[in-house]
């Protein structure tokens, strides 16, 4: 497979996992998931993980997967190779897995003494990949292994941190996010 094809497929297949983080920032606020509960000296998750943000993120990922599925055929004909359509369980695995990864990362941050908003290089950029890919493999196994070949996974692991740093920097400059990571 040509490199450009691999990059396009990786990006397309991951979009329903990429957009939830950004949608959570826009939709976030209100009651925190942990309800203020603590574990030891620190909050269980912190005020940065809210029900509304999580629901916004998952919804945005599912809607985007639907839109991409509607246009996939036209895009595939235009570019000369096939991009993925999303089965419902694949969309759910990617979108919910991304939010779950982000929540687990906050759990780890609080356990390691990091306050809300503190950075955790590596984890911040890949938390949602680490959960969304295995969850999708579990929920939509055939779909997953059709699209996520080893070269696609390699591109995802390299491309995701670059995209994450770029989009968060833009969101910070636009005043949407409190920190540039
Ligand atoms: N957000 C939310 N619910 C989520 C994820 C994010 O409401 N499940 C919103 C919160 O307003 C959060 C912002 O998006 O402050 C930025 O997300 P993130 O960087 O993941 O959270 P942090 O505030 O940095 O908190 P943490 O240190 O726990 O990652
Ligand atoms: K995060
Ligand atoms: Mg943060």
How much distance in Å is there from the Cα of 75 to the middle of ligand 3? 34
Output the six-digit token pair for 160. Answer: 């995701």
In this structure, the residue with its CA closest to atom 2 of ligand 1 is: 53
Q: Within 6 Å (CB) of ligand 1, which residues are found?
A: 24-25, 28, 46, 48-50, 53-54, 99, 102-103, 106, 109, 116-118, 177
> Which ipTM value was assigned to this complex?
0.98
Output the six-digit token pair for 4. Answer: 């450009």
Identify any residues that bridge with 42 across adjacent strands, giving them in sequence order.
Answer: 39
Which protein residues have their CB within 5 A of the ion that is ligand 2?
A: 102
Residues 28-66: tens digit of each pLDDT: 999 999 999 999 999 999 999 999 999 999 999 999 999
Identify any residues that bridge with 39 across adjacent strands, giving them in sequence order.
Answer: 42
Characterize the bridge pairing of strands 42-43 and 38-39.
antiparallel
pLDDT band at 1 (very low <50, low <70, confident <90, very high): low
Q: Are 91 and 66 in contact (CB under 8 A)?
A: yes
Nearest to 153, CA basis, from 13, 4, 1? 13
In this structure, the residue with its CA closest to atom 23 of ligand 1 is: 48
Residues 131-160: tens digit of each pLDDT: 999 999 999 999 999 999 999 999 999 999
């Amino acid at each position: 497979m040509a490199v450009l094809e691999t990059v396009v497929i990786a990006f397309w297949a991951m979009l329903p996992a990429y957009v939830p983080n950004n949608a959570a920032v826009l939709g976030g606020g209100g009651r925190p998931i942990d309800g203020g509960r603590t574990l030891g000296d620190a909050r269980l998750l912190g005020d940065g993980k809210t029900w509304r943000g999580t629901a916004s993120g998952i919804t945005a990922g599912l809607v985007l997967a639907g839109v991409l599925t509607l246009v996939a055929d036209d895009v595939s004909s235009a570019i000369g190779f096939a991009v993925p359509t999303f089965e419902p369980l694949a969309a759910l695995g990617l979108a919910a897995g991304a939010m779950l990864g982000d929540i687990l990362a906050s759990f780890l941050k609080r356990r390691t003494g990091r306050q809300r908003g503190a950075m955790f290089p590596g984890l911040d950029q890949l938390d949602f990949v680490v959960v969304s890919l295995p969850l999708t493999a579990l929920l939509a196994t055939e779909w997953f292994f059709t699209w996520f070949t080893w070269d696609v996974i390699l591109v995802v692991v390299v491309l995701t941190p670059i995209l994450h740093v770029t989009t968060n920097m833009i969101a910070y400059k636009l005043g949407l996010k409190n920190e540039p990571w």
